[in-house]
Every structure is written in structure tokens, then in C-alpha cells.
Structure 1
Amino acid sequence: MHFLDFLVLFGTLGFIVGYGVWKTKGNRNIEGYLLGDKSMKWGTIGLSVMATQASAITFISTPGQGYESGMGFVQNYFGLPIALIIVAFVFIPLYYKLNVYTAYEFLEKRFDQKTRLLGAFLFMVQRGLAAGITIYAPAIILSTILVWDLSWTILLVGILVIIYTVSGGTKAVSLTQKYQMAVILIGMVMAFFYILDYLSPFVSFTGALEIAGRLNKLNAVDFSLNFETRYTVWSGVLGGLFLALSYFGTDQSQVQRYLGGKNTTESKMGLMFNAILKIPMQFFILLTGVLIYVFYVFYQPPVHFNNASLETVKGAGKTIELNQIKSDHDDLIEKRKQSALDYRDALKKGDGNIQQVGDELIENAAAVDSKRDEMKTLISSVDGAIKTKDSDYVFLTFILNYLPHGLIGLLIAVIFSAAMSSTSSEINALASTTVVDFYKNIINTKASDKNYLNASKWLTVLWGGLAIAFAFMAHLSENLIEMVNILGSIFYGNILGIFLVAFFVKHVKGNAVFIAAIVSQITIFLLFLFTDIGYLWFNVIGCVMTILLSMLLQSMLKKQ
């Protein structure tokens, strides 16, 4: 990176942190610290909700997902708008009516203390681990690409987040997220248009889409009913609905964003903002990844995007094998490029051999993929512990090699900003849950408001430190954006089931739902470990099982 890139990077991060500390200094009570004095308007809420969900993993991993698998991942979000409407008109009015700090307070009012603590505990386990992944995911990739020390990269993100979150609480998180989202959106749009500019000597935008479509990168919907297919319309609408309903309705990192609204109208409008824009945003990011794939049809791509893995192969004395695969790969890239140009020309002329030329393009693209797989096999033979999936490195490789200085710094700032926005929301919510549901509820029930405020700040530091520690211990095996959703899906369906019973199944009491939730959670763990069911279905299974089992147990307990 150039000096200008470092100037833009640290200038952007410094402004965001400094602004957050300055604008929110002087919180003197627990309501101001945890709920921002309930003063936030819908625009701030909407951007804060979006920034909380759109972590650095979104902007590193999603383009790589588009590059590798096409647009199908967008189906993951098909249930989200429906979920946000339900949360806005069912959950929000109830939370405001009960005047709660956390979603889990409601569970004690409806059931009992142990059910409240169970819901809070499940949230803390899932979100605590996710906070570590949120820091580790961008850190491991940035450290590899930029040749930075991993430890310092993790510490940079973690410490910056702790500074302004401890200083200003929820309001600091929400205010800084506005500017973080602005940086993120500007950076992504600029990268998108640079890709189009690079492609313009070869194909137009529509021509690039034609090539991507021929190579099966634009298949955004799959109506198959195979439960082992990871992304389909049905898993997105049903599984995605349950995942989003639990995330936005019961996850304190999101609930805390809209509980800080001036009133229910502002909070509802903030969620509707996300209901309208979330799918288009994810579609745009995936499309950016697809266009990077087309870009590398015309420009020379590396045989493997994680250069550190290639260096390991060299260090193991496999240079001859490495160079042979590279040479074969380069030859195949030229063939793929020529077949893409032939396909472009055939489309322009309307030739009758479009089908034949298109088939040649598919055949040559498959040969390139096969050679990349051969490289992954070589990497695994050298060190089986190395993760050969390199899609998370695709977007950053493009940024560093093809964008101008200054913009590189801005896009690296995008990734750091996204990491900071998600992590700040998570540790803020974890501290709130710990203070309200455990410390204030069972440890120190009669302390002063100042005592609870100080406890909130110290617990924010503690959870920030634990998130950094989890980041150091993290070991990723999946595509990062998928891993976060997998982790959520293991817990969210169960938590959502508890809340839906609380809202709608009035005759079920605390003991029944408590036992049902524990049995359901164990079942989901077993399904995750021993079956190939697509993870989005865990949200449906966990939720439905908790509801039905709690009703069955309640009827049995009533008879006894």
C-alpha cells in the first residue's frame, strides 16, 4: 500500500472513532448509555440496523461468494422483508409497552426467571462467538494480503471499537454506524464502476452479463425441493424468514438498535428502510463478485488467490509442480478469454453458432476451474491444515492490484469500518444483556443508577476483550459469510421458538418452554454434526420443535 492509502485508511478510522467519542461524551445514566436516551430518528436507526448486520465479512466474503457460486446466495435474504414487517408490527409495540432494556426481560414477565436467563445465555454464547469471528475474519485476510501481523490487525479493530463503545454506549454505536455505512456504500459503488471501466475495452455491461449468464453465474433462484441444497427459494423464504425473524426480533444486538428510537413510529420506519434496501444491497454486492469473475476472464487471475498458501508450497520444495500448474493454468486462461471474445462476437452478429461457441466457453471455464482444483490438491498435500478455499481473498486481490492509490485505502477502510460497526453493536448488546439480565436481575438488585452505568462500561471492556480473545482462537473452515449464518442458525430458531410461544401460545408456562428449548437446542446440535441438511432449515426445525414440544409438555404437566 502507498502512503496515500495509509493516510486515507487511518484518517477515515480516526474520524469515525473521534466523532463517536466527542458526540456522545457525558452519559450519566443507564438509559442514556444502553438506549441512547431514546432519541434516535428512523434514518439513524435504519443505517445502524443495516451496519450491524453488514459486517466486514459481508464486504470481503460476499463478492467471493458471487465469484465462486454466482447469485444464488441472494436467496438467503428472501424471507427478510417479511420478517422485518412482523417485527415492526408485533415485536416493537410490545417491547415499547413493557419499557424493557433487553428482549429477554420480556421472557421473565411472560414466563419466569430461568427462561429469561436461558434466552439471554443462548444469545450471549452465540453472539460472543460471532463477535470473535467478526474481528478475526477481516483480520486474517487483511494480514495475509497486506503482509501485516495478524495479532496487530486483530488488536487494531478490537481496541478502536472498545474506545468509542465504552465512551458513548448505544448512541455512539448508532451515530458512528451512519458514517461507517456511508464509507462502505461509497467505496463499493466506486469499486463497481472501476470494474465496468476495466471491462469496457472488451465487453459492455450487458455483454458481461451475457457471459456471466452463460457460465451459470446469474442463477439467482432455485425452486428445487432438495433439503440438502444449501440455497433455494424455499429455504430462503422459510428458513431465511425464521433466521431474520429471530435475528431482528430477539437478538439484543439488533433489538437495542431500534429500542433507542424516539417512538415506535421511528423504530418501525428504521426497519422498513432495511426491508426495502437489504436485498438490493446484497444483490449489488453479489453482482460485483460476478463481474469480478468476468473481469478475470479478460485479465490474468492468479491460480490461487491466497498467495500465502502458494508460498507454503514453494517452501515445501514443490516449486516444479507449482510452476507446471501455473503454466497450464495460464494457457487455459488464454483459451477461456478467446472463447469469451468469440461468444461476444457471435452475440453481436446473431450467428447461428452461438450455442456451439457458448458450449466452448463453458468447457474452457470448467478446465480453468479444474486446474485451480489441482492447485488446491497440491496445497493440501503439502499441509492438510491449510484451508484451500480462496474465495474470501478474491475481492481484496482485485482491490490491491487494480484500483488506484487512495481508493485502495478507502476500500480497506470499508472493511475495517464494517468490522468495527458489527463488533461495536455486538459488545454493546452483550454488555447490556449481562448488566440487565444477570447483574441487575440476580447479582446486585438494589444498586444505584451510577453503579449500573459503571458496570455497563466495565462489561463493555470485558466483552471487547473476550471478543479479541475469541478472534485469536478462531479457526475458520467455511466461507466466512456462510459461517456467520451457520452459527446463527444453530441458535436462532430455538430462541425464536421461545419468543413465539411467549407471544402467541398463552396457555404454555415457563417449565414447559424451558425444557422444550433445551431439548430442541440439543437436537439442532446433533443435526448439525451428523446430517447434511442445509443450515437455513435449522431455523425452521428449531423454532417449530420448541413450539410443538412446549405445547405437548404443557399438556402433560397439566394432566399431572
Structure 2
Amino acid sequence: MHWINWVIVVVYLAVVIVDGLRRTRGTKDIEGYFLASRSLPWWAVGLSVMATQISAVTLIGTTGQGATDGMRFVQFYFGLPIAMVLLGVTIVPFLHKAKVYTAYEFLERRFDPKTRSLTSLLFLLSRGMSCGTIIAAPAVVLSAIFGWDLIWCVLLIGLPTIIYTVLGGVEAIAWADVKQMVIIVGALLAIVVVLIIRLPVPLDDALRVAGSTGRLRVFDFSFSLTETYTFWSGILGGTFLMLSYFGTDQSQVQRYLAARSVDEARSSLLMSAYWKIPLQALILLIGVLVFLFYTFSPAPLLYNPRHDAQLRERQPAEYAMLESRYTAALAARDQAAREAAASSEPAALTNFTQQNASVESVRKEALAAAAKATGESSRDVNYIIPRLVLDHLPMGFAGIFLAAVLAAAMSSIAAELNSLSTASVVDFYQRWYRPSAGSTELLNAGKLATALWGVFACVVALYAATLGSLIEVVNRFGSFFYGSILGVFMLAMMKRATAFGAFAGLLTGMGAVAAVSFGAPQISFLWHNVIGAVVVVVVGTVLSLGNRPQPSMTNA
């Protein structure tokens, strides 16, 4: 990579880190460290909420998803606006007025300590694994760029971020998120412009070609429990996932608990309701444009350069045969694409889709051969956008993109680690081990917990990087836990729900999700959120019948 790109990366990261450390002066006590003394403006909280989601996973995994699968992934977010409105009138005002540090503290006031602890433990497991996936995304980029082993790339990203997070607090993280959003949106728009300019045919003609492969299809109104991205899975499963994520996940709750007031907390969530879907559509569109770019330009046989080199070295004859077939298939597809772009005849588009299928068939064989040769998963969707940026974008653009990826990763990882530390200290260390601990002791415990969770996330990252599309991996991890956690908070809003019903319902809900996940793996993970929440509410309600009701939520 050219030295100018490195200058861009170093300068941006230096600005973010120096400014973040400058803001640590308000982190001398536990409230300043975990909640920024509840002083953040709504727009900063809103950008921080969005930035926590738009991590390096999004820049890498979602663009790769768009290149291979098209726009239909955006249906995943159709439930977001519904969830934000519901949260604004339910959980947000209750949690903010309760002056709690974690969402799970509230469950003890409503139910009992064991329900609080179990729910917090489930959060720690799910978010700890998701944090590892967020580290894996930039590690994949560095591995693709320099050919370094993945473990060194994970440590390069993880260790500095752990140090930065231990020293800083949620205020430093939130303001870093604001800068992150600026550079991410700028980098995305720059890539869009470059890709459009590089197309050898008019944009509308190119999009018609992409549409023939189904990549511009946004809506799928079929109802299927086995299909992940449909309108109904987004509206139903997506709403339950977003309700749980934004309403019960400490990494998000901690953001609006740091807002100045309930109204500002609501406004911060509505920012995501308005802007998340258009921004996600832009990211997926970049993936479609990447597909078009490689349709009219030679595309790598394998986007993962390390697997490409290993397959070439270990199976030279097989690699040569695949490469020859792939080159011929690419040439035929390029010609068919140009003919389809110049003609509105259905036959031309049909011919292109057939030639594209031939290219994908050879690629599938190459991926299988690479998996056999390396003994690793060969799904390379996470390498598509890094290869494009490094091989084809003008000087300076690679530096901007890499700065965006690293900054997004550091900011998101820092946010996750801070929320994990908060739940660990408040829900376990202070609640069960040191109830009388002072602010200084809790602050030191929080920093130690941050470091330990950082090490755990680095270990998970090594595994997560081999699981395919990282954006899907994050949501699979979350969906295993989120529905059941949401069910407990739904019970908390029911006056007659009891502590026994809530705890038994939570256990039953997790059992039901586990049974579906391992016993019926064909059911899409988005429906796990619905299953978990419904089972918890139904079981908890039934078991609460005839028992003495707990205090109402409004009196908690």
C-alpha cells in the first residue's frame, strides 16, 4: 500500500485516540466512566447508537453480502422503525427515570436477583461473542492486505483497542463515534462515485444487468420460516430482534441512559429509525456496484489472497484447470454483459444470467478446492470489498477506506467492551461480591473487566472469521439470546407477572431456542427472536397465574 494511504490512516487514528484520551478527564468516578455523568446531547447519542451498529462488520460483511446476494438483506431492517417507536413509549422512559446503570438492574426491582443475574449473564455471553466478530472484520482486511496470519491481525486490532477502552470511558467512546460516522459516510460516498465512474456502460444500463441476476430485488413477500431475508421475517422477526437489541442489550441501553433526559433519549433512537434503512441500502448498493465492476473487469478466482496462493501451491494442476475455465467464463460473461447493457431484449439478459451462473459455478468449485487444500472454511465474502479497494481504487482511497474500517472497529469494540464491563461490575461484582465497594474500587474493577472481556473477544475473533458473512454471524449470535431476554422485559410490563414466572419463562425460552437452533437448523435465525420472546411470555404468564403479583412497572 502506498505511503500516502498509510499517512491518512495514521493521522486519522491519531486524531481519534488523542481526542478520546482528552475526554477521559470526566471518568474519575463510576458514573462518569460508564454513563458520561448522563450529560450527552441527543444527536451525539443518536450518532453513537448508529456507529455502534455500523462497525467494520458492516463495511466489510454487508458490502460483500450485497455483492453476492444483492439488496434483499435490507428487509432485515424493516422492523427497526416500528421497534424504535415502541421503545420510545415503553422501556426507554422507565429505564431512564429509574437511574440505573444497566437494564438488568431494573429486573431485580421488578422481579428478583436471580432473574436479573441470569438475564445479564445471557447478555454477557451474546455480546462477548459478537464483539469477537467485530474484531474479526478488520483482522480479515489486514490479513488480505499484507498476507499476515489472522492471529496477528486480531491482536493488532484488539490490543490497542483494549488499552484505549480501559483508559477511556463512555464519553470518549461516544464522541469517537461521532467522528466515525463522518468518515464512514464520506468513504462510502467516495466509493460510490469511483465505482460509477469506472463502469464502462451507463449506470441505468448496468443496473438493469444487475437486476437480471436478482441483485436489485428488495422485497420478497413469500412467507417461509426457512428463508432469512423476506418482508415478513424483517417485519416480524426483525421487529423482535430490534426491540431486544435496542431495548434490552446493554451496549445500546447504555447509550440512551447517558442522554440528558428522556426526550433526548427518545430523539436519539428516532435518528436510527429515520436513517438506518437508507444508510444500509447505500451500503448494499455499493456491494451491487462492486459486482458490476467485476462483471466488466477481471475478477479474482478467490478473493482471499492467502487461500488463492495456497491452492495454487498445493494443487497446481487443479488450480491451472480452474483458472483456465474461469478466465473463459469471465470473458463470456463480460461480452454478454455488454450486449445486455446495449440491448433491452430479454434474450440478452437471459444470456447474461446464464454466463454469470457459469462464472459462479467455477467459483464454487474453486472455493471447495481451497477448503480442501487449506482445511479451513473458504467462504470469501468478507474479502470482496478489501480486494477492490486495494487493487482498483485511486491513491488515497485505500487509506480513507482502511481508516474508516479501523476507526469503526476500534469505536465499536470499545463500545461493546465498555458495556460488557458495566454489566460485569454492576450486575455481578457489586451486586454479589462487593456490595459496599466504593466508586474507586468499582472503577478499577471496571477497567480490569474491560481487559478480560477484550481477551475473550480476541479468542472468539479467530473462530468468527471463518464463519462466512460477518454481518450474518453477528446477528446469529444475537438472535440465539435476544428473543428470550426481550420476553423477560415484556413480562416486566405485565402487572401480574411474578418472579417465578419470569425466571422459569426465561429458562424455557432459551431451551426452546436451543431446540430449534440445533434440532431444526433450517429455520432462519431471525425467527429465533420471535420464538424465544413468545415462549417466555406464554410460559411466564401461565406460571404467574394464581401467584401474588409483583409491583407494577410504574411503581418500580
**Could you say whether these structures have the same fold, taking a TM-score greater than 0.5 normalized by the shorter chain as the test?**
yes
CA distance in structure 1 between the aligned counterparts of 2:545 and 2:26, rounded to whole angstroms:
52
1:412 aligned residue (402, 421, 433): 402
> Which region of structure 1 is more displaced relative to structure 2, 142-151 or 112-121?
142-151
Deviation at residue 340 of structure 1 after TM alignment: 1.4
The aligned counterpart of 1:516 is 505
1:461 pairs with 2:458: no
> Which region of structure 1 is more displaced relative to structure 2, 447-456 or 262-271?
447-456
2:168 counterpart SS class: helix
CA separation of 1:14 and 1:148: change in aligned 2, threshold 3 A: farther
CA distance in structure 2 between the aligned counterparts of 1:358 and 1:469, rounded to whole angstroms:
46
* 1:33-432 alignment runs, 5 A limit: 33-199=33-199, 202-316=200-314, 318-347=315-344, 354-383=345-374, 385-432=375-422
2:234 counterpart SS class: helix
Deviation at residue 6 of structure 1 after TM alignment: 1.4
Deviation at residue 180 of structure 1 after TM alignment: 1.4
CA distance in structure 1 between the aligned counterparts of 2:297 and 2:125, rounded to whole angstroms:
44
CA distance in structure 2 between the aligned counterparts of 1:379 and 1:450, rounded to whole angstroms:
53
2:90 counterpart SS class: helix
CA distance in structure 2 between the aligned counterparts of 1:170 and 1:415, rounded to whole angstroms:
20
Deviations 1:296-353 (A, max 9, x none): 111010112112112222222x212211211221112111111111122213xxxxxx
The aligned counterpart of 1:507 is 496
What is the one-letter code of the residue matched to 2:332?
K
CA distance in structure 1 between the aligned counterparts of 2:159 and 2:371, rounded to whole angstroms:
35
Name stretches of at least 5 consecutive residues in structure 2 with no aligned partner.
Answer: 550-556
1:325 counterpart SS class: helix
1:104 counterpart SS class: helix
Q: Say if 1:343 and 1:358, in contact at 8 Å, map to a contact too.
A: yes
The aligned counterpart of 1:541 is 531
1:471 pairs with 2:461: yes
CA separation of 1:432 and 1:341: change in aligned 2, threshold 3 A: same
Q: Say if 2:147 and 2:306, in contact at 8 Å, map to a contact too.
A: no
Deviations 1:146-168 (A, max 9, x none): 22343332223223322332223
CA distance in structure 2 between the aligned counterparts of 1:152 and 1:312, rounded to whole angstroms:
19
The aligned counterpart of 1:350 is none
RMSD: 1.6
The aligned counterpart of 2:553 is none
1:287 counterpart SS class: helix
CA distance in structure 1 between the aligned counterparts of 2:145 and 2:4, rounded to whole angstroms:
18
CA distance in structure 1 between the aligned counterparts of 2:495 and 2:468, rounded to whole angstroms:
40
CA distance in structure 2 between the aligned counterparts of 1:219 and 1:14, rounded to whole angstroms:
41
Deviations 1:86-124 (A, max 9, x none): 112211110122111110011000000000001100000
Q: TM-score, normalised by structure 1?
A: 0.95
CA distance in structure 2 between the aligned counterparts of 1:310 and 1:330, rounded to whole angstroms:
15
> Which region of structure 1 is more displaced relative to structure 2, 190-199 or 151-160?
151-160
The aligned counterpart of 2:554 is none
CA distance in structure 1 between the aligned counterparts of 2:498 and 2:53, rounded to whole angstroms:
33
CA distance in structure 2 between the aligned counterparts of 1:371 and 1:95, rounded to whole angstroms:
54
Q: Say if 1:164 and 1:173, in contact at 8 Å, map to a contact too.
A: no
Q: Say if 2:498 and 2:547, in contact at 8 Å, map to a contact too.
A: no
What is the one-letter code of the residue matched to 2:296?
F
CA distance in structure 2 between the aligned counterparts of 1:157 and 1:181, rounded to whole angstroms:
19
CA separation of 1:468 and 1:388: change in aligned 2, threshold 3 A: closer
Deviations 1:364-396 (A, max 9, x none): 11111111112123223434x321221111111
What is the one-letter code of the residue matched to 1:329?
Y
Q: TM-score, normalised by structure 2?
A: 0.96
Name stretches of at least 5 consecutive residues in structure 1 with no aligned partner.
Answer: 348-353
2:210 counterpart SS class: helix
* 1:9-24 alignment runs, 5 A limit: 9-24=9-24
Q: Say if 1:25 and 1:167, in contact at 8 Å, map to a contact too.
A: no
Q: Say if 2:144 and 2:387, in contact at 8 Å, map to a contact too.
A: no
CA distance in structure 2 between the aligned counterparts of 1:553 and 1:2, rounded to whole angstroms:
65
What is the one-letter code of the residue matched to 1:489?
S
CA distance in structure 2 between the aligned counterparts of 1:89 and 1:558, rounded to whole angstroms:
27
Q: Say if 2:464 and 2:470, in contact at 8 Å, map to a contact too.
A: no
CA distance in structure 2 between the aligned counterparts of 1:496 and 1:446, rounded to whole angstroms:
31
Deviation at residue 450 of structure 1 after TM alignment: 2.0
What is the one-letter code of the residue matched to 2:42?
W
CA distance in structure 2 between the aligned counterparts of 1:378 and 1:172, rounded to whole angstroms:
46
The aligned counterpart of 1:491 is 481
Deviations 1:510-556 (A, max 9, x none): 11110111121022112111211011000000000000011112227
CA distance in structure 1 between the aligned counterparts of 2:327 and 2:359, rounded to whole angstroms:
9
> Which region of structure 1 is more displaced relative to structure 2, 418-427 or 547-556?
547-556
2:103 counterpart SS class: coil
Taking every aligned residue pair, what percent have the same amino acid on both sides?
39
CA distance in structure 2 between the aligned counterparts of 1:205 and 1:24, rounded to whole angstroms:
47
Deviations 1:467-524 (A, max 9, x none): 2233345463231111110110000000000001001x21111111101111210221
What is the one-letter code of the residue matched to 1:433?
A
> Which region of structure 1 is more displaced relative to structure 2, 3-12 or 395-404?
3-12
Q: Say if 2:12 and 2:403, in contact at 8 Å, map to a contact too.
A: yes
CA distance in structure 2 between the aligned counterparts of 1:466 and 1:326, rounded to whole angstroms:
40
CA distance in structure 2 between the aligned counterparts of 1:430 and 1:404, rounded to whole angstroms:
40
Aligned residue pairs: how many? Answer: 548
2:545 counterpart SS class: helix
CA distance in structure 2 between the aligned counterparts of 1:43 and 1:428, rounded to whole angstroms:
20
Q: Say if 2:31 and 2:37, in contact at 8 Å, map to a contact too.
A: yes
CA distance in structure 2 between the aligned counterparts of 1:208 and 1:182, rounded to whole angstroms:
29
> Which region of structure 1 is more displaced relative to structure 2, 202-211 or 58-67?
202-211
Q: Say if 2:97 and 2:262, in contact at 8 Å, map to a contact too.
A: no
What is the one-letter code of the residue matched to 1:512?
G
Q: Say if 2:498 and 2:548, in contact at 8 Å, map to a contact too.
A: no
Deviation at residue 274 of structure 1 after TM alignment: 0.7
CA distance in structure 2 between the aligned counterparts of 1:360 and 1:93, rounded to whole angstroms:
57
What is the one-letter code of the residue matched to 1:327?
S
Deviations 1:420-455 (A, max 9, x none): 121111110011111111112121111222222222
1:241 counterpart SS class: helix
